Structure 1
Amino acid sequence: MIRHILSLLCNVLLMGSLWLGTLSPVLAETVSEPSALMQQVDTLFEQAFIATNHADFATAEQLWTQVIDRFPENAAAWSNRGNSRVSQHKLEAAIADFDQAIKLAPNAPDPYLNRGTALEGLGRWEAAIADYNQVLQLDPQDAAAFNNRGNAEAGLGQWQQAIADFQQAIALAPDFAFAQANYALALYQDGQLEESLRLIRNLVRKYPKFADMRAALTAVLWTQGQVGEAESQWVSVVGLDQRYKDIRWVAEVRRWPPAMVASLDKFLKLK
């Protein structure tokens, strides 16, 4: 199962993982009191996931804190609270939560993956890559780790390594749309313009509401002089996600490659 709270996805495109909303084995082992207490904590888990699904991350954080107060040895609760904090851009606090989750469950891959996402948000690319390497040591088939490592390598300007990791993520999870999107964007940065455009068009065709790729298609078409089609795509983008009107968000949060950012910036300035 592919896990992006999108370092931020499109969410900012969060890619962090959410553990199952039931009592984990770690939690179950710590409960010696009546089943009523287990039910109470299980309810907190469920409420926290509901809050997360409604993007109410502040409430989710409070609910995970209640679980932690009752069962501080539960690694899942620490990791999930870290996810809720990443979603609020409380990155340092999130990293502290992931550190604790890793201390409690050093062989669980998810806290490393989640901490890597937070480290990316701080621009600590090499530290993020180290966490993704650890995930892949624990689970060599983790598509999210390959995708995220590609993102961190892109942050370092290591485009060939990033392309290879995005390809591996896609090979492991062919329907991983954001890995495909990241691959297409990296190809554009690498000068493989025709292949990039082909992949972007395919993604827009397959996922008509994929604002990220419609925005990328807008940028590429505009640079090719296909003004009418570019403007038509842009109408759809604005209707789906207005954040793409903010070039700073595109560059610093979504973290498009510089070449694609420049293309979209030209469209936004000349439109």
Structure 2
Amino acid sequence: MVEDHPLVALTLPIVLVLPLKTSVVENYKDFAFSDYARVGRALALYEIGDKDEAIAEMEDVSISLKGYPEVHAALAAALYVDKHAPLLAENQFTIATLLDPHYTDLSYVKETKHWPPSLVSSLQRFITLS
């Protein structure tokens, strides 16, 4: 059944995802998966419009998860659109795409990584330099 599929949890509304990710981050700080939850939390914050907090979270977690392409790609999109920092964005995107070239494909971040619409839009603007 569809409801039993493990990916169904990835399609939860942002209002439900944010408290779950925040809970993991706060309660399991010493575990490695906490950093990955921070990435998910940052994406959720970005979607609800808390862009500054999202970018700060992405910048911080990009240090602890250096080499994790998703956070670098998301940070590139956010820096380009929201901070008007094209050089910093380009550096982050270079890291991301060297590690995983899939991040140049919008359908990949939308359908496989399940990025929120606002971040997909920001990535599109970055890729097309608009």
The equivalences for 1:59-208 within 5 A come to: 115-117=4-6, 120=7, 128=8, 149=9, 151-153=10-12, 158-174=13-29, 175-176=32-33, 177-208=35-66
Post-superposition Cα deviations, 1:105-160, rounded to whole Å, max 9, x if no partner, equal: xxxxxxxxxx531xx3xxxxxxx4xxxxxxxxxxxxxxxxxxxx4x331xxxx222
CA contact 2:75–2:92 (8 Å) conserved in 1: yes
CA RMSD of aligned residues (A): 2.0
Which consecutive residues of structure 1, in runs of 5 or more, have no partner in the other structure? Answer: 1-91, 96-114, 121-127, 129-148
**Equivalent residue number for residue 87 of structure 2:** 228
Report the Cα offset of residue 235 of structure 1: 1.2
Report the Cα offset of residue 169 of structure 1: 2.1
| 2:71 maps to amino acid | M
| 2:39 maps to amino acid | A
- Aligned pairs, number: 126
Report the Cα offset of residue 215 of structure 1: 0.3
**Equivalent residue number for residue 209 of structure 1:** 67
SS at match of 2:5: helix
Report the Cα offset of residue 206 of structure 1: 1.2
Residue in structure 1 matching 2:76, options 210, 218, 225 = 218
Runs of 4+ in structure 1 deviating by more than 3 angstroms, as ranges, are none
CA contact 2:11–2:114 (8 Å) conserved in 1: no
**Equivalent residue number for residue 77 of structure 1:** none
How high is the sequence identity, in percent, across the aligned residues? 25
Taking structure 1 as the reference length, what is the TM-score of the superposition?
0.44
Mapped partners of 1:116, 1:165: distance in 2: 19
Taking structure 2 as the reference length, what is the TM-score of the superposition?
0.87
Which protein, 1 or 2, shows the higher relative CO under an 8 Å CA cutoff with sep ≥ 6?
Answer: 2
| 2:26 maps to amino acid | A
Which consecutive residues of structure 2, in runs of 5 or more, have no partner in the other structure? Answer: none
The structure whose Rg is larger is 1
Larger helix proportion, structure 1 or 2? 2
**Equivalent residue number for residue 270 of structure 1:** 129
Mapped partners of 2:63, 2:72: distance in 1: 10
The equivalences for 1:2-41 within 5 A come to: none
SS at match of 1:186: helix
